[in-house]
Amino acid sequence: MAFPAPDPVPSPDPVPAPDLASLQRRLVAFAASRQWEPYHTPKNLAAALSVEAAELLEIFQWSTPEEAERVMDDPQAAHRVEDEVADVLAYLLQFCARLGVDPLTALSAKIDRNEVRFPVGRPQGRADRHSTE
Residue 54 has pLDDT above 70, yes or no: yes
Separation CA 90–CA 85 (nearest Å):
8
What band does 67 get if pLDDT is binned at 50, 70 and 90? Answer: very high
Separation CA 40–CA 4 (nearest Å):
60
Mean pLDDT for the stretch of residues 65-86: 98
**Predicted local distance difference test score (pLDDT) of residue 122:** 77
Position 10: which residue type? P
- 3-state DSSP helix/strand/coil % of the chain, to nearest 5: 65, 0, 35
pLDDT tens for residues 99-116?
999 999 999 999 999 999
DSSP helix/strand/coil, 5:
coil
